[in-house]
Amino acid sequence: MRSDSIKTKLNNLDLLRFFAAICIVLFHYNKFTGTLHSDANFPLFNIFKYAYIYGGNLVELFFLISGFTFFCIYAEKIRQAKISGKEFFKRRVARLLPLYWFTTLGILVCRFACVKLYHEKMFGGGSNNFTILGIFLNLLGIAGGWPGNDTYPFNGAAWSLGVEIFCYILFFCLLRLVKNEKLENILMIFLVISGFLMFKYRLDYPIINGLMGRGIANFFLGGCLYKLIMKVKNSQYLTLGALGVLILTLVALKFWPLLTNYIYYINALIIFPTIFIIVLNSKLLLKIMPNKFLKTLSKLSYSVYLNQILIMEFTYLINLKFKFINFYSPLFFISFMLILIIFSYGTYKLIEQKGKKLLLKE
């Protein structure tokens, strides 16, 4: 399959990324109630059960999509030195950090207000490390993953940002320094295996830890998937094969519940890649993606992902004052999701896009 042919399908992946972001929000919904992810009283639990319980694993799908996309867009440019390291990382900073800084500031304001007004700690799960080192790491966006497993940024959901940044560094170095394709492939497989082992054994050292392992394994698995798809001439056969594997896997999970003990690896190695291939090659999505509404939603995944904790903590703060919210109410649930998406549209336009232009001086 030609690279330019794949690039025309990347909008499909943006919509898949938005879906993943929504599932991750549902996984974090229990922060409102302080109950287990499997709380059957959650709104519309029977419909969204998988997302409530396993939605956190879809961060791996984020990394998978990122790895695939970066190999598709940047691999040849980096190999042929058509883009410098300075330019590459400048673009990444301009893309990621403005919204991250905005949500971090908003979360810190909420937490300060919570402590000062109500003498309570906020539930968001992020760090309260206000040491000079902690503030410095948060400012750079690398508070998650770089120091170890137990270090999180003030915006807890943004742990993946620091891991993603490290993956960019590995990606750029691999493509720029390794000139032999076979060696490049071997090193990619090595990084995938190493990442899963770092996660499996919960290693807890700077850089070499479980959080970083999640990102490294799935980012470079996305790169491997890109290379595999490039080798396949008939995408229809690949899609049918992926659909068959997905169905067999779901049937196996249904009839052999013990397999759920390995759900993380089944998701990462089978379910997510097969869904990825099906969505990438979906002719239906290619037809409907020009729809303005869907195209807009597909651009909001990063905003939804980073804004979720900010909106949750602000909502919780409001409820401390007025105590009128029933977090188990479907009406509240729908309202919360709508507010999050609308707010994310605003931050996409005003923070992501304008912040990027300002930093790039476009």
DSSP code string of 48-91: HHHHHHHGGGGHHHHHHHHHHHHHHHHHHHHHTTSS-HHHHHHH
Q: What is the pLDDT of residue 149?
A: 65
More confident residue, 5 or 332: 332
Per-domain boundaries in the chain: 3-360
The answer, yes or no, to whether residue 3 has pLDDT greater than 60, is: no
Give the span between the Cα atoms of 264 and 57, in whole angstroms: 7
Q: What is the pLDDT of residue 92?
A: 96
Give the span between the Cα atoms of 317 and 114, in whole angstroms: 6
Provide the mean pLDDT of the chain.
92
Q: What is the pLDDT of residue 130?
A: 78
Give the span between the Cα atoms of 236 and 216, in whole angstroms: 29
**Residue 2 pLDDT level (bands cut at 50, 70, 90):** low
- The pLDDT tens digits of the residues spanning 297-346 come to 999 999 999 999 999 999 999 999 899 999 999 999 999 999 999 999 99
Q: What is the pLDDT of residue 195?
A: 98
Report the pLDDT averaged over residues 202-223.
96
Report the pLDDT averaged over residues 269-293.
88
Measure the CA angle with vertex 87, ends 86 and 93; round to 5°: 90
Contact 11, 291 (CB under 8 A): no
Measure the CA angle with vertex 246, ends 244 and 251; round to 5°: 95
Report the pLDDT averaged over residues 130-146.
89
The answer, yes or no, to whether residue 7 has pLDDT greater than 80, is: no
Q: What is the pLDDT of residue 190?
A: 98
Q: What is the pLDDT of residue 132?
A: 85
Question: What pTM did the predictor assign?
Answer: 0.95
Q: Which residue type, as a one-letter code, is found at position 27?
A: F
The answer, yes or no, to whether residue 356 has pLDDT greater than 80, is: yes
**Residue 125 pLDDT level (bands cut at 50, 70, 90):** low
